[in-house]
């Protein structure tokens, strides 16, 4: 309905003037003013037309610039202000077409009364995100402060333990060298190295097998059964048998027949890795995977000392002496160590104890252990402190969670959508994944790389946050790494709307989030005037 047209008798007088800047984007508003002659120049400069022709619902300029607020010119742009939101541009073919464009939440793309103004809702949610960011900032600041204090304390502790360890070790160095000539020790080291080499080779083979498996899975899910290529069919069937997979056509049928079938299949999928397990074996495949590394990381020197100790039990002289530190209060230890050093050297000269005292070595290892543990704890604290500091910096960083921290809330939030045979998952600022619904390999589609990388977009501008890039996902077979571009628009919900593989391995996700629903700020208020 265009009421102002309906009322007019024939012939129609000049239309009641529509605001000449209606539909003009803020950066162009300054150009929508009449010349002194009363004319107006098309933006491309190609033509001069009477000012009254601007926004008169009749196309005059070859570039369409005279009709920013109507659909009269093809290929033009219409700007909707979306008060309480980010303004947006739509193509002129969407103006007055009877459909409310989601980009124009203020409904200005249609005649008054056709579309509701829905700009407000998203901004409210966004403000809760900002509040969250401020809370988060406070939490992190507190964390930084408390960890800084803890670090100070811990640093002192580390220094003290280092001192002890150094002292204990200094008396045992020479003795150690002798012990390390032990055939048992040497053999152990060689075993260990052989095992490490074996582990390395095994890993290579595992990776190779997995790569082959991936290729075959792709073949299995991608081949066209209608082609009847027997070589392909045989390869697929062989792989299915080897990998214990159901035949691809039959698997689908099973699922369709009942829901429980799907569940049981999922269960059997879980069980598949366990099939290799032989109960008699001590080193199961699983144990091998989890426990071999710690085993190979064994401190063989400690072991050597413990071994010596073990075969010489019960303890003889000196054990009490060398263990005595553990009974002493911390503040006495330095004095005690001094005293002990003197005592030991004295005893050694007397031949009471042997210079390369076994217990001394055991003790020095334990001291070293205490020192290492303390150092690790310190590192953890420092890391925590550093991360909190960094997170703090990110919250209100325009390259991170936005100037107002409105994106912090979504950090790690995962959205999912189903498309075809896959579920797509995107965890904000982390990773995007493609998860097959019916078994098979989950592919990483990339990890968070940046906001809109386009040079045309200034970081911090609303446009900047409408695009996220996730990069370096699993490499495509015979192709590049998978990447995702996520296009976001303002919406009251965080949701993934569509997934499309625009080009090979280049995915485009679209979604909505309230984080993009800007409230009316002073700048855009000025633009309106």
Partner 1 sequence: MRSLTYLSLLLVVPQTLALKAHDFKTCSQSGFCRRGRALSARAREAGEKWISPYTVDPSSIAIASHQATFTAGVKSSLYPEIKFGLELRVHDDGVVRVRMDELGGLRKRYDEAASWALISEPVISKDIKWTAGKKDIRAVYGAKKENEVVVTFAPLRVALLRGGKEQVVLNGQGLLHMEHFRTKTPEVTHTEEPEPKEGEEIVEDEAQVVVKSENPRAWFEGDKEDDWWEETFSSWTDTKPKGPESLSLDINFPNHGTIYGIPQHATRLALPTTAGESPFFSDPYRLYNADVFEYLASSSMSIYGSIPVLHAHSAESTVGIFDAVASETWIDVAHASEKSTETHWISESGILDVFLMPGPTPNDIFRQYARLTGTTVLPAQWSLGYHQCRWNYVSSDDVRAVQKRFDEEDIPVDVFWLDIEYSEEHKYFIWDKKNFPDPVDMVNDVAALGRKMVVIVDPHLKRTSDYPVYKKASELGYLVKNKNNDEYEGWCWSGSSAWMDFFNPGVWDWWISLFKTQKLENGWSWTESTEAVHIWNDMNEPSVFNGPEITMPKDNIHHGGWEHRDVHNVNGMLYSNLTSQAVARRSDPPKRPFVLTRAFYAGSQRFGAMWTGDNLGTWEHMAVGVKIVLSLNIGGFSYAGSDVGGFFGNPEPEMLVRWYQVGAFAPFFRAHAHIDAKRREPFLLDQPYKGIVRDILRLRYSLLPVWYTAFRETSVTGFPVLRPHYVVFPKDQAGFDIDDQYYIGASGLLVKPITEKGATETKVYLAEDQVYYDYFNHHAYRGAAKGKEITVPAALHQIPLFIRGGSIIPTRERPRRATTSMKKDPFTLRVALDKTGTARGELYLDDGETYGHEKGQFVWRELVAEKPVKKARSVRIASKDLGLRRPGEAVEGVALTAFDPGNAFAKSIGDVRVEKVVVLGLNAKPTGVRVEGGGDLVWEYTPGVAAGEKKEGTASVLSIKDPKVLVTKDWAIVIEW
Q: What single-letter DSSP state applies at residue 503?
A: E
Q: Least distance (Å) from partner 1 to the CB of residue 378?
A: 51
Candidate residues 19, 44, 48, 97; the one interacting with partner 1 per rule CB under 8 A: 97
Taking contact as CB under 8 A, which single stretch among the options 3-11, 127-135, 213-221, 273-281 is the one that binds partner 1?
3-11
User: Smallest gap, in angstroms, from Cβ of residue 257 to partner 1?
Assistant: 10
5 lines the binding site for partner 1 (CB under 8 A) = yes
347-355, long-range: CB < 8 A, 24+ apart: 347/318, 352/317, 353/317, 353/318, 355/174, 355/175
Question: What's the min distance (Å) between Cβ of 228 and partner 1?
Answer: 13
Taking the least distance from each CB to partner 1, the nearer of 255 and 323 is 255
Beta-bridged to residue 140, according to DSSP, are: none
CB-based contacts of 239-244 (< 8 A; 24+ apart in sequence):
243/213, 243/216, 244/272, 244/275
Choice between 39 and 417, CB closer to partner 1: 417
Out of 98, 279, 294, 351, the residue judged to bind partner 1 by CB under 8 A: 98
Q: How far is the CB of 108 from partner 1 (least distance, A)?
A: 17
Q: Contacting partner 1 (CB under 8 A), which of 72, 165, 426, 517?
A: 72
Distance of closest approach, residue 500 Cβ to partner 1, in angstroms: 5
Please write down the HEC assignment for all residues of 382-451: HHHHHHHHHHHHHHCCCCCCCCCCCCHHHCCCEEEEEECCEEEEEECCCEEEEEECCCCCCEEEEEEEEE
Cβ 460 to partner 1 shortest distance, Å: 26
Burial class (CB in 10 A: 0-12, 13-18, 19+), 304: buried
99 lines the binding site for partner 1 (CB under 8 A): yes
Q: Are 47 and 61 in contact (CB under 8 A)?
A: yes
Are the C-beta atoms of 482 and 469 separated by less than 8 Å?
A: no
Q: Looking at 74, 222, 238, 244, which residue binds partner 1 (CB under 8 A)?
A: 74
Stretch binding partner 1 (CB under 8 A), from 93-101, 406-414, 448-456, 468-476: 93-101
Nearer to partner 1, 6 or 16 (CB): 6
Ramachandran area for residue 61 (φ above 0: left; ψ -120 to 50: alpha; else beta): beta
The residues near 461 (Cβ < 8 Å, ≥ 6 apart) are none
For the CB of residue 12, give the shortest distance to partner 1 in the complex, in Å.
Answer: 4
Q: How far is the CB of 80 from partner 1 (least distance, A)?
A: 16
Smallest distance, partner 1 to C-beta of residue 216, A: 22
Positions in 466-525 near partner 1 (CB under 8 A): 498-500, 510
By CB under 8 A, which span of 69-77, 344-352, 355-363, 446-454 interacts with partner 1? 69-77
Closest CA to 505 of 471, 529, 454, 528: 471
Quick one: which segment of 80-88, 252-260, 266-274, 362-370 binds partner 1 (CB under 8 A)? 252-260
Please identify, using beta-carbon distances, which residue of 255 and 337 lies nearer to partner 1: 255
Site for partner 1 in 197-226 (CB under 8 A): 224
Picking from 141, 105, 131, 116, the residue whose alpha carbon sits closest to that of residue 515 is 131
- Give yes or no for residue 11 binding partner 1 (CB under 8 A): yes
| Strand 431-436 with 443-451, pairing | antiparallel
> Which H/E stretch holds residue 5?
helix 3-6
Q: Does 94 bind partner 1 (CB under 8 A)?
A: yes
Measured distance CA(508)–CA(230) in Å, rounded: 36
Q: Does 68 bind partner 1 (CB under 8 A)?
A: no
Which residues touch 108 (CB under 8 Å, ≥6 apart)? 23, 80, 81
Minimum CB distance to partner 1, residue 113 (Å): 14
Q: Interface with partner 1 by CB under 8 A: which range of 114-122, 249-257, 352-360, 475-483?
A: 249-257
Q: Does 281 bind partner 1 (CB under 8 A)?
A: no
Q: How far apart are CA 214 and CA 133, in angstroms?
A: 42
Q: Is 104 an interacting residue with respect to partner 1 (CB under 8 A)?
A: no
Name which of 290 and 454 has its Cβ closer to partner 1. Answer: 454
Identify residues 37-56 at the interface with partner 1 (CB under 8 A).
Answer: 56
| Nearest approach, Cβ of residue 472 and partner 1 (Å) | 24
**96 three-state secondary structure:** coil
Instruction: Give whichever of 60 and 136 is closer to partner 1, judged by the CB atom.
Output: 60
11: helix, strand or coil: coil
Residues 378-417 that bind partner 1 (CB under 8 A): 417
Instruction: With H, G, I as helix, E, B as strand and everything else as coil, classify residue 481.
Output: strand
- To partner 1, the closest distance from the beta carbon of 91 in angstroms equals 5
State the angle between helix axes of 183-222 and 300-312 in degrees (0 to 180), rounded to the nearest 10: 130
3-class DSSP assignment, residue 501: strand
Between the alpha carbon of residue 335 and those of residues 325, 326, 374, the distances in Å are: 11, 14, 22
Query: C-beta of 287: minimal distance to partner 1 in Å?
Result: 39
Structure tokens at 134: 């401020």
Q: Look at residues 163, 149, 150 and name the one whose alpha carbon lies nearest to residue 330.
A: 163
Taking CB under 8 A as the criterion, which residues in 413-452 touch partner 1? 417-420
Site size toward partner 1, by CB under 8 A = 35
3 state SS of 116: coil
Residue count of the chain: 529
Residues that bind partner 1 (CB under 8 A): 1-2, 5-6, 8, 10-12, 56-58, 60, 71-72, 74-75, 91, 93-94, 96-99, 224, 252, 255-256, 417-420, 498-500, 510
């Amino acid at each position: 309905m265009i009421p102002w047209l309906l009322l007019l008798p024939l012939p129609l007088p000049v239309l009641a003037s529509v605001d000449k800047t209606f539909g003009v984007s803020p950066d162009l508003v300054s150009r929508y003013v009449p010349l002194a002659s009363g004319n107006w120049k098309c933006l491309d400069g190609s033509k001069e037309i009477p000012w009254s022709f601007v926004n008169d619902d009749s196309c005059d300029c070859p570039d369409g610039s005279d009709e920013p607020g109507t659909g009269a010119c093809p290929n033009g742009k219409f700007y909707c202000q979306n008060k309480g939101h980010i303004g947006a541009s739509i193509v002129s073919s969407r103006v007055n077409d009877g459909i409310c464009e989601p980009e124009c939440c203020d409904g200005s793309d249609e005649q008054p009364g056709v579309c509701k103004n829905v700009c407000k809702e998203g901004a409210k949610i966004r403000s809760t995100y900002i509040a969250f960011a401020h809370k988060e900032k406070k939490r992190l600041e507190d964390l930084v402060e408390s960890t800084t204090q803890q670090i100070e304390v811990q640093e002192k502790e580390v220094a003290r333990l280092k001192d002890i360890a150094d002292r204990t070790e200094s008396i045992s160095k020479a003795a150690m060298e002798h012990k390390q000539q032990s055939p048992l020790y040497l053999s152990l080291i060689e075993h260990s190295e052989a095992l490490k080499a074996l582990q390395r080779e095994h890993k290579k083979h595992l990776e190779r097998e997995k790569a082959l498996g991936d290729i075959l899975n792709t073949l299995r899910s991608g081949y066209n059964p209608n082609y009847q290529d027997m070589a392909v069919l045989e390869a697929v069937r062989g792989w299915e048998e080897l990998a214990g997979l159901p035949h691809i056509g039959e698997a689908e049928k099973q699922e369709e027949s009942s829901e429980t079938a799907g569940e049981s299949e999922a269960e059997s999928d879980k069980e598949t890795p366990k099939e290799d397990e032989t109960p008699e074996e001590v080193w199961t495949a699983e144990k091998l995977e989890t426990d071999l590394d710690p085993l190979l990381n064994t401190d063989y020197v400690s072991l050597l000392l413990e071994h010596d100790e073990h075969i010489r039990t019960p303890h003889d002289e000196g054990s009490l002496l060398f263990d005595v530190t553990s009974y002493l209060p911390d503040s006495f230890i330095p004095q005690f160590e001094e005293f002990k050093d003197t005592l030991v050297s004295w005893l050694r000269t007397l031949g009471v104890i042997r210079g390369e005292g076994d217990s001394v070595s055991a003790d020095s290892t334990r001291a070293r252990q205490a020192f290492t543990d303390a150092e690790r704890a310190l590192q953890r604290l420092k890391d925590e402190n550093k991360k909190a500091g960094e997170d703090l910096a990110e919250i209100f960083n325009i390259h991170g969670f936005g100037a107002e921290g409105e994106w912090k809330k979504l950090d790690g939030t995962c959205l999912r959508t189903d498309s075809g045979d896959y579920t797509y998952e995107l965890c904000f600022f982390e990773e995007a994944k493609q998860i097959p619904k019916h078994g098979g390999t989950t592919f990483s589609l990339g990890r968070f790389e940046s906001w809109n990388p386009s040079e045309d977009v200034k970081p911090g501008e609303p446009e900047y946050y409408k695009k996220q890039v996730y990069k370096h996902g699993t490499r495509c077979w015979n192709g590049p790494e998978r990447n995702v571009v996520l296009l976001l628009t303002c919406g009251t919900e965080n949701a993934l709307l569509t997934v499309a593989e625009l080009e090979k391995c280049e995915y485009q996700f679209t979604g909505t989030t309230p984080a993009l629903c800007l409230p009316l700020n002073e700048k855009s208020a000025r633009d309106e005037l």
